[in-house]
Amino acid sequence: MRSGLWLYVIMAGLCQLVLACSPAGEAAGTQKAPSAEAGFEGPLVVAFGDSLFAGYGLEPSQGFAPALERALAEQGVGARVVNAGVSGDTTAAGLARMAFTLDGLPRKPDLVIVGLGANDMLRGLSPAQTRANLQAMLEELKRREIPAALTTMMAAPNLGEDYARAFNPIYSELSAANGVRLYPFFLEGVAGQPGKLLPDGMHPNAQGIEDIARRLAPAIAGDLPKG
């Protein structure tokens, strides 16, 4: 594993900062459904995750969803990316709000990117339950015939080898079992880089988000409908 990634997960396990980033009123079921233009006919992408997707600490135009829109445009893809990130969400909270989120969209999305599990890991929650929640989300997306993708998360080393052995394979195994695309660790190339992080040392700043979006955009563009 690259040193930057190790720095991130060590800090995550020690500081538990993501857990502190859940603003009041963001409990599942209390949020408005994310918006998308009813008349838009291009590819529709939903970024469904926690604070890393939500754009914690950033202006609305600086979050992952708008940054990914810009990066996809650079790839020649005129997509809309819906910000369906909620700071502090565990996989259980994500599962609880998934149907509500999807039902609130003007039409079926062309891709839902699921980026959850960091807060499960930070709380030391059961990897088996994390796996089950993510599996249930993928099954719900399959039931609705919506293409899905996962972004990878890894366990902090201070949680121990047993926890890591149970947690780390979740994403690749679910990807293979469900036939969904697996994208790499979200903070790859940004973790451990002070110039790309907010002062908390964990969440990407605007530059970090732009770098992440540009790194992921080619793969995401390839997973979207052509024409």
pLDDT digits (tens, 9 = 90+) for 168-194: 999 999 999 999 999 998 888 888 889
- Choose the catalytic residue: 51, 120, 175, 211: 51
- Choose the catalytic residue: 22, 120, 175, 203: 203
Q: In the annotation, is 51 catalytic?
A: yes
Q: In the annotation, is 203 catalytic?
A: yes
With respect to residue 25, please indicate whether it lies within any of the assigned structural domains: no
The ranges of the chain with pLDDT < 70 are: 1-38, 227
With respect to residue 138, please indicate whether it lies within any of the assigned structural domains: yes
Q: In the annotation, is 50 catalytic?
A: no
With respect to residue 121, please indicate whether it lies within any of the assigned structural domains: yes
Residue 185, CB-side half-sphere exposure with 13 Å CA sphere:
18
**How high is the pLDDT of residue 156?**
82
**How high is the pLDDT of residue 227?**
59
Task: Answer for the pair 142, 174: CB distance below 8 angstroms, yes or no.
Answer: no
d(CA 147, CA 40): 19
Query: Partners of 81 in the beta sheet?
Result: 45
Q: CATH no. for residue 190?
A: 3.40.50.1110
**How high is the pLDDT of residue 200?**
87
Task: Answer for the pair 114, 151: CB distance below 8 angstroms, yes or no.
Answer: yes
**How high is the pLDDT of residue 4?**
46
CA 25 distance to own-chain centroid: 20
With respect to residue 35, please indicate whether it lies within any of the assigned structural domains: no
With respect to residue 207, please indicate whether it lies within any of the assigned structural domains: yes
E-strand spans in 66-219?
Answer: 80-85, 111-115, 148-151, 181-183
With respect to residue 172, please indicate whether it lies within any of the assigned structural domains: yes
With respect to residue 33, please indicate whether it lies within any of the assigned structural domains: no
Number of domains in the chain: 1
Q: 95 phi and psi, to 5 degrees?
A: -60, -40
Dihedral angle computed from the Cα positions of residues 175, 170, 5 and 46, in that order, rounded to the nearest 10 degrees: 50
With respect to residue 115, please indicate whether it lies within any of the assigned structural domains: yes
Which domain, by its residues, includes 200?
A: 3-7+43-222
